[in-house]
Amino acid sequence: MALERSTTCPRCEEEQSFYRTAATTLHLGEKQKWRCPECEYGFIAINGIDTLPA
């Protein structure tokens, strides 16, 4: 599993490399926590579904 993920940060409003800060397995699948190194914005993804704003 990758430790880095490029995506647009809602706070920085530009493409950032988010770093995985935690991962665990749930009955729904793998839960991963991601954090932006620039502004510390974080989001959660479970089985590819994330909490990033649309």
Res. 47: pLDDT tops 80: yes
Query: How many other C-beta atoms lie within 10 A of the C-beta of residue 37?
Result: 12
Determine what percent of the chain is predicted with pLDDT higher than 90.
89
Q: What is the mean pLDDT of residues 1-18?
A: 94
Range of the domain at 18: 4-50
**Which two tokens mark 3?**
């430790």
CA dihedral 17→22→26→29, nearest 10 degrees, is: 20
The pTM of the whole model exceeds 0.85: yes
Which candidate, 26, 16, 27, places its Cα nearest to that of 52?
16
Domain count, the chain: 1
- Report how far residue 36's alpha carbon sits from residue 22's, in angstroms, rounded to the nearest whole number: 13
Check which CATH number belongs to the domain holding 22 and give it. 2.20.25
